[in-house]
Amino acid sequence: MTAALLDRLTHRSHILLLNGESYRFRQSMKQRENGEW
């Protein structure tokens, strides 16, 4: 039943591919560089 529900929800969906560095990753790297980790 769950599979049927997911199939109906995603039947007409679109996949978005986002390339680029994420904001959270960039913030995490800044914190590590500043010793805030």
Which of helix, strand or coil describes residue 15?
Answer: coil
> Up-side HSE of residue 32: CA atoms within 13 Å toward CB?
6
CA gap 14, 34 in Å, rounded: 39
Query: For 2-35, how does the pLDDT look when each residue is reduced to its tens digit (9 = 90+)?
Result: 999 999 999 988 989 989 889 999 999 999 998 8
pLDDT at residue 5, rounded to an integer: 94
pLDDT at residue 37, rounded to an integer: 63
Strand intervals (E) in the chain: none
List Cβ<8 Å contacts ≥24 apart for 8-17.
none
* Domain count of the fold of the chain: 1
Full domain range(s) for residue 10: 2-33
pLDDT at residue 27, rounded to an integer: 93
CA trace torsion 30, 34, 36, 37 (10° rounding): 60
pLDDT at residue 21, rounded to an integer: 85
Q: Which is more confidently placed, 36 or 4?
A: 4
